[in-house]
Structure 1
Amino acid sequence: MRTMREHPTLWIQGSTSASLEGKTIVLAVTGSIAAVRTVELARELIRRGADVYTVMSEAASWILNPMALHYATGHEVITRLTGAVEHVEFCGMSGKADLLLIAPATANTIGKIASGVDDTPVTTFATTAIGTGIPVIIVPAMHEAMYDHPALVENLEKIKCWGIEFIGPDIREGIAKIASNEEIVLRVERLSGSGELSGRKILITSGSTAEAIDPIRILTNRSSGKTGVELALEAYRRGADVTIVHRNKVGVAGIKEIYAESASQMTETVLEELNCGYDVLISAAAIADYTLDPADTKIRSGGELTLHMRPTAKLVSKAREKYPDLFIAGFKAETGACLEELLKRAIHTLKTSKLDLIVANDVKSGGIGTEDNEVYILTAEETDHIHIKGSKRVIASALLDEMIHHLMSRK
């Protein structure tokens, strides 16, 4: 229920997810032109449940009026330190802040942090947070030549040795540009999260495969890969080392991506990658059930065409045979099956493929290429099922919750 004194900005709090619920984040802004990006960055953090406060250097206020960040966060902006000792209130011992996010960070500010210089509100917040041991993330933004200066390179390495995380920058057009808001928010979620998958290696297959007919044409399916991507992102948020094998692109620095086009390429890639010591395989890809020998040159158009298809190998069966102790989750998609029949077929696949967990859904009315889905999660140990309906991010979260429960029970 909204109160009369609640700032209207806070009405969006938690509207996207609850991944940062209960977290207090101090967003420290310095004098880079990238400061204009922080209004939307603050709101994205709030949409995930965070309470965001901002502190600005004087140089930052020349670029972005503090009123903009007051609007964005619902809280007065700290532009100078007063008798309220704001740096101690938020970043001191028993302070309010769970994390200090310095975005954007200029070369000047990075140099001062490395040297322990406190002559702006931002650098004083940084020194206090580092001394207290509060997590700190720094997001550089400056001209590329400044980023390449030997002194700055040394400062970056020095600060990293203190356990402080850096995000970006994205080097383009001669500028070390600030990382995307999406990447910043994801890293904040990971650093502020439970870390319950920390130390775990998870391999995810995602999206459709494509079987070549000739050098131009392919056979594929309607899978968008959205569920696989959401699984990769959610596992990353929870601290896992994540690898995704697919034909798409996530583009997140901390997630390893391997391209595989055909069913055989995906199967061979996954079996080889699993040699690197993974804890979990989530086979979310819609891997082709049939393939063919492609023509060496383009098949001329016109007239009827007959294709001779043969079955492909089942990835999950191959993985189970080679890695008997690996936790494997699979997916079972059907069309037009009643619930009883859908669950029956899913249980059959669960047992015959020796899976630990399976996600079943009927895609006739939706699910492929959509933003949401309705699924049923079943495990080898339990006779009942879990019913989830919602966004694919919600489904990914529920699947990982169930996976973690069973991984912990193995101990």
Structure 2
Amino acid sequence: MSRHPTMWIKGQSSASLSGKVIVIAVTGSIAAVRVVELARELIRNGAEVYAVMSKEAQHILHPYALHYATGHDVITEITGEVEHVKFFGSEGCADLLLVAPATANTIGKMAYGIDDTPVTTFATTAMGEGAPVIVVPAMHNSMYEHPAVMENINKLQDWDVTFVGPHLEEGIAKIASNDQILLEVERSLGSSTLLGKKVLITSGATAESIDPIRVITNRSSGRTGREIAMEFYRRGAEVTVVHNGRLDSEGVNEILVESAGEMIDATLRELEHGYDMLISAAAISDYTLDASESKIKSGEDLSLKFRSTRKLIREVRNAYPEISIVGFKAEAGITEAELITRARESLEAADLDMVVANEVSITGMGTVENDVHIISARDDAITHVSGNKRLIAETLADNVEEIFRKN
């Protein structure tokens, strides 16, 4: 017999969850309508997904929808198959229980070991076995903020249950986005090879003010920096990003800046808190100017006088001589050999541990894909990688792990 058509999408986005079995436990929140796409997103990243539903959840979402979404029959009651033990007993086949969405009622039952629904029976078994459990709350805001609910959440967190979200909007504690949930699942089931490491990443373009309305900037989208931040977070690192953008992640700390000066000052201040590595992936402006306090009138001839900005890596190296630094070297209109030569010169001049070099006249800035050379100062080894920026982030993380292993 051919496999269920849902399996045709398996692994199409990534292999980050390949070989992992995830059980989605669905409760009676209206946010249950979001679970079909959530299940499929997990499958796109390589997971095998099963679903268990409470009776209340079935009033909102028919089990057929989750059968379609997962490719497996949905568990709606505990039978002679002892499904909770099959998946989460001492020899269970599941790697993680994802309670999404989780109502206040279910959170309370989980906190007190009450298992009177298929969902809570699965939760009691998984928690008793010490399996990873992620809870994604969704309910009315006034319910979420009830002292008992807060107490139950804190209690579960003390037992190493992970919570994702909610987002408080329109009087509702809304379910977290699928991207946020996926990232936390990947972190929970990932390699944890960077656990205990603190990494600071600068990302994206900076912008220098011309007047209160206009700025001068560059073509960087920040996509590479964001992918690096998420990949290092997946591997267990404590990650902070300094940038002029937004990440759809609660786990990654963000410091928002605009200008080159603000980015450099923010980075130096943040490094006071103790970091193992700086990854300087931002396209920091090389020039700045004194901005007009009022809007420059349109149509007038305009002459701007620029001056050089400070150099982030130089200031960081002077202030923190022991920190590991990964730099980026972007060039345009040169050969591969010349690119590597200039990257090596930067590696030595700035006392970097590693440099990522790319020629951006064809691809790189503002694009989904890139072609880069990662050069290590330790042994002068060059890793050439071409493809989407998530692949580049994964390859960089592999190389950084090698630095930490040898230090």
State how 1:93-112 maps to structure 2 within 5 Å: 93-112=90-109
State how 1:107-126 maps to structure 2 within 5 Å: 107-126=104-123
State how 1:67-216 maps to structure 2 within 5 Å: 67-216=64-213
Match in the other structure for 1:37: 34
CA distance in 1, matches of 2:73, 2:262: 55
Alpha-carbon offset, residue 332 of structure 1: 0.7
CA distance in 1, matches of 2:270, 2:380: 32
State how 1:319-330 maps to structure 2 within 5 Å: 319-330=316-327
What secondary structure, in the 3-state scheme, does the structure 2 residue paired with 1:403 have? helix
CA distance in 2, matches of 1:310, 1:170: 43
Give the TM-score taking structure 2 as reference length. Answer: 0.98
Correspondence 1:288 to 2:285:
yes
State how 1:281-360 maps to structure 2 within 5 Å: 281-360=278-357
CA distance in 1, matches of 2:399, 2:376: 9
Choose 96-105 or 166-175, whichever is displaced more: 166-175
Any unmatched runs of 5+ in structure 1?
none
Alpha-carbon offset, residue 303 of structure 1: 4.4
Give the letter aligned to residue 55 of structure 1. V
Give the letter aligned to residue 236 of structure 1. Y
Match in the other structure for 2:60: 63
Give the TM-score taking structure 1 as reference length. Answer: 0.97
Q: Identity over the aligned pairs, expressed in percent?
A: 59
Correspondence 1:257 to 2:289:
no
Count of aligned positions: 407
Structure 1 residues 13-35: Cα deviation after superposition (integer angstroms, max 9, x where no partner): 11111111111111101111111
CA distance in 2, matches of 1:42, 1:81: 21
Match in the other structure for 2:359: 362
Structure 1 residues 304-355: Cα deviation after superposition (integer angstroms, max 9, x where no partner): 3222211112111111111111110111111111111111111111111111
Alpha-carbon offset, residue 384 of structure 1: 3.4
Alpha-carbon offset, residue 7 of structure 1: 1.2
Choose 289-298 or 318-327, whichever is displaced more: 289-298
What secondary structure, in the 3-state scheme, does the structure 1 residue paired with 2:92 have? coil
Within the candidate set 236, 244, 266, 1:247 is matched to: 244
Give the letter aligned to residue 195 of structure 2. S
Correspondence 1:6 to 2:28:
no
Choose 69-78 or 377-386, whichever is displaced more: 377-386
Structure 1 residues 263-299: Cα deviation after superposition (integer angstroms, max 9, x where no partner): 1111111111111100110000000111122222223
CA distance in 2, matches of 1:364, 1:138: 45
Match in the other structure for 1:269: 266
Any unmatched runs of 5+ in structure 2?
none
CA distance in 1, matches of 2:401, 2:73: 40
CA distance in 1, matches of 2:403, 2:146: 50
Alpha-carbon offset, residue 151 of structure 1: 2.3
What secondary structure, in the 3-state scheme, does the structure 1 residue paired with 2:272 have? helix
Alpha-carbon offset, residue 96 of structure 1: 0.5
Alpha-carbon offset, residue 5 of structure 1: 2.8
Quick check: 2:179–2:248 contact (8 Å CA) kept in 1?
no
CA distance in 1, matches of 2:294, 2:125: 67
Choose 45-54 or 289-298, whichever is displaced more: 289-298
Alpha-carbon offset, residue 95 of structure 1: 0.5
Give the letter aligned to residue 137 of structure 1. I
CA distance in 1, matches of 2:402, 2:36: 38
Alpha-carbon offset, residue 302 of structure 1: 3.4
What secondary structure, in the 3-state scheme, does the structure 2 residue paired with 1:281 have? strand
CA distance in 2, matches of 1:407, 1:157: 34
What secondary structure, in the 3-state scheme, does the structure 2 residue paired with 1:276 have? coil
Alpha-carbon offset, residue 148 of structure 1: 2.2
Structure 1 residues 99-145: Cα deviation after superposition (integer angstroms, max 9, x where no partner): 10010111121122122111111111111111110011111111122
Correspondence 1:402 to 2:372:
no
Give the letter aligned to residue 146 of structure 1. M
CA distance in 2, matches of 1:386, 1:404: 14
CA distance in 1, matches of 2:4, 2:32: 22
CA distance in 2, matches of 1:108, 1:296: 56
Within the candidate set 393, 403, 409, 2:390 is matched to: 393
Quick check: 2:357–2:373 contact (8 Å CA) kept in 1?
yes
CA distance in 1, matches of 2:298, 2:115: 72
Alpha-carbon offset, residue 12 of structure 1: 1.0
State how 1:223-238 maps to structure 2 within 5 Å: 223-238=220-235
What secondary structure, in the 3-state scheme, does the structure 1 residue paired with 2:24 have? strand
CA distance in 2, matches of 1:397, 1:50: 19
RMSD: 1.2
CA distance in 2, matches of 1:181, 1:172: 17
